[in-house]
Chains A and B, each alone.
Chain A
Amino acid sequence: MRLREQGVPLAGLDRTAVLPGSRNPFAVVAQFIDKTLVISELEVRKLRHDPTELLTRAVQPALWLLVFGQVFSKIRAIPTGQMSYIDFMAPGILAQSVLFSAIFYGIAIIWERDLGIVHKFLVSPTPRPALVLGKALSAGVRGLVQAGIIYVLALFLGVKINWNPLALLGVVIIVILGASVFSTFSLIIACLVKTRERFMGIGQVLTMPLFFASNAIYPLVLMPTWLKVIAIFNPLTYEVDALRTLMLAGGLSTFGLRLDFIVLTMVTIVFVAIGSRLYPRVVV
């Protein structure tokens, strides 16, 4: 049947344009990583052109640390054992600022859909998971800038920081994973609700409970059981736990770094898998 004939390259046509994707698994993985990095390169280039947004996003965590942190340190309302409250809180605020900037990634997806940018990425031969993971890494890049700012603030407030290079590397990894989890979560919601108005509503409703139903600003032991159960299922809890272990000199983990890392990695993988199924639907 004529319709079923295979495409024959035209003479003089660019060969690179018609090469089908390689079947070699190593080449596929290399391609995937390469494409993921290209998508996040886009974000880095954007940030280089306009870094002001990063500074405005630093205002909120600064207020939390300076106002809330200072006051609650003074009145000692929250028992944190040996650790001073400001020490206890600094990693929590780092996780919070990563969460707050990542959770609005979905709105950027809707914005890019409205402009037609998403269409063009989807028509390119880029694997869908690379598009989604690339976005997640982009959120990680933003998260790292936030982390830098919070380290400066923490230093200024006398937080006892662990400067061991391995611990710092650990913080980098956890921040990227945390940003990936919540930016991809946000992307999934954006792909489901599809409009800016609905997304804004849901974004507000989700962010605060995620933050308060976690160990970010008070220990789990203080929570009533029902809240503790929610916190145990909240990836933010594991992010905070890991950051508290790695960021502070003498920081102790509740769950163990290995579990924190495994939980964050697994959630990232599951969310990227769901996100790459839903992402193409945002243009339908």
Chain B
Amino acid sequence: MPILETDSLTRTYGELIAVNALTFSIEAGEVFGLLGPNGAGKTTTIKMLTTLLPPTSGKAFVRGFDVARQSASVRRVIGYVPQMISADGTLTGYENLIIFAKLYDLPRSEREDRVRSALAFMGLADAEDKLVREYSGGMIRRLEIAQSMLHRPPLLFLDEPTVGLDPNARRTVWEHIEQLRKDYGITILLTTHLMEEADNLCNRVAIMHLGNIVASGTPEQLKAGIGGNGSTLDDVFIHYTGNKLESGGSFRETTRARRTARRLG
């Protein structure tokens, strides 16, 4: 049984169809990438799958739980790292995690151990008592991933996990995501508009354009599908969406992305 399954999942805002009858599924253990430019509907999709946004129509199931009707059960089996910076800068790394350990009902006797091992896993043991506003961008992202996996969710959502990071920090985050999958067998759904990221991390990708999935498969299949030897995912992307990644995106999304980038500095 797939760990995540959607059936004609749709979200509209007035006239605008942000996500149009999306049907796809993810098997346990996969790293699945949703690719697309800003405004393609990736974040709206993630918001529906994480119970933040009720679908206009259609259904989605996480481990068999309906995201609209059984949201409380869905919330216990997912982890989520939003696109924006969601760690609290005025608290230490340790405090950011211990609060969520409590919110997720980890048994009192295990909380400390679980928090410390999550910090160590993400390479943050030395920084646990520093205020998060003193962290670098890559450290903040790693902290947020540590926070989202405290309750060992079988399914993790990462919305643009490396947006605004420099190449070194990006590579470190990739290594940790890869390690997470290996050590814990966590299934991951990530969104990105970096083809290199998708190529590096994902077993399977789906390309979104204007609210629709226009192509999906393994990165190799997609590259082979457009025929050229030496095609890259970038070529695949241009082939299906007719434009480069940079184009698109509303004013609001662009300002948000810039603000995130600035905060990650």
Contact = CB atoms under 8 A, between A and B. Distances in A.
Q: Do A and B come from one complex?
A: yes
Interface of A: 2-8, 10, 13-14, 16-21, 34-35, 38, 41-42, 45-46, 49-50, 114-117, 119-126, 280, 283-284
A284 B90 contact: no
B86 interface: yes
B41 to A, nearest CB: 15
Interface stretch (B94-102, B169-177, B226-234, B238-246): B94-102
A125 B107 contact: no
A49 B91 contact: yes
A35 B153 CA distance: 20
A143 to B, nearest CB: 19
B59 interface: yes
B86 A117 contact: yes
Contact of A16 (B72, B90, B106): B106
Main secondary structure of the interface of A (DSSP, over half): helix
Given A13-B154, A50-B90, A116 B84 contact: yes
A7 B103 contact: no
A18 B78 CA distance: 10
15 contacts: A3-B7, A4-B64, A5-B64, A8-B1, A17-B76, A19-B76, A42-B99, A45-B99, A49-B91, A49-B92, A114-B84, A114-B259, A116-B86, A120-B148, A280-B52
Given A7-B64, A42-B88, A283-B47, 13 more contacts: A8-B63, A16-B107, A16-B151, A17-B104, A20-B72, A20-B76, A45-B91, A45-B99, A116-B84, A119-B82, A119-B84, A125-B103, A125-B104
A16 B105 contact: yes
Nearest to B29: A10
Contacts, number: 116
B17 interface: no
Contact of A3 (B47, B59, B92): B59
Contacts of B92: 49
Contact of A125 (B47, B63, B65, B75): B75
A124 B104 CA distance: 7
A17 B65 contact: no
B100 A283 contact: no
A30 to B, nearest CB: 11
A115 B85 CA distance: 5
A14 B73 contact: no
Nearest to B5: A3
A10 B28 contact: yes
A109 to B, nearest CB: 14
A10 B151 contact: no
Chain B contact-residue range equals 35 or more
B73 A7 contact: yes
A50 B73 CA distance: 37
B186 to A, nearest CB: 10
Interface string B4-29: 01010000000000000000000010
Nearest to A126: B103
B201 interface: no
B218 to A, nearest CB: 24
Nearest to B75: A125
Given A123-B75, A125-B105, A42 B91 contact: yes
B77 interface: yes
A119 B105 contact: no
Top 8 A-B pairs ranked by shortest CB distance?
A: A116-B84, A7-B63, A116-B86, A116-B82, A7-B64, A14-B152, A125-B75, A119-B82
A143 B103 CA distance: 25
Nearest to B80: A123
Contact of A5 (B1, B86, B151): B1
B5 A46 contact: no
Interface string B55-66: 000010111110
Contacts of A116: 82-86
Given A114-B259, A125-B104, A120 B63 contact: no
Contact of B77 (A7, A34, A115, A120): A7
Interface in B211-240: none
Contacts of B104: 17, 124-125
B93 to A, nearest CB: 13
Given A38-B103, A126-B103, A120 B86 contact: yes
B59 to A, nearest CB: 7
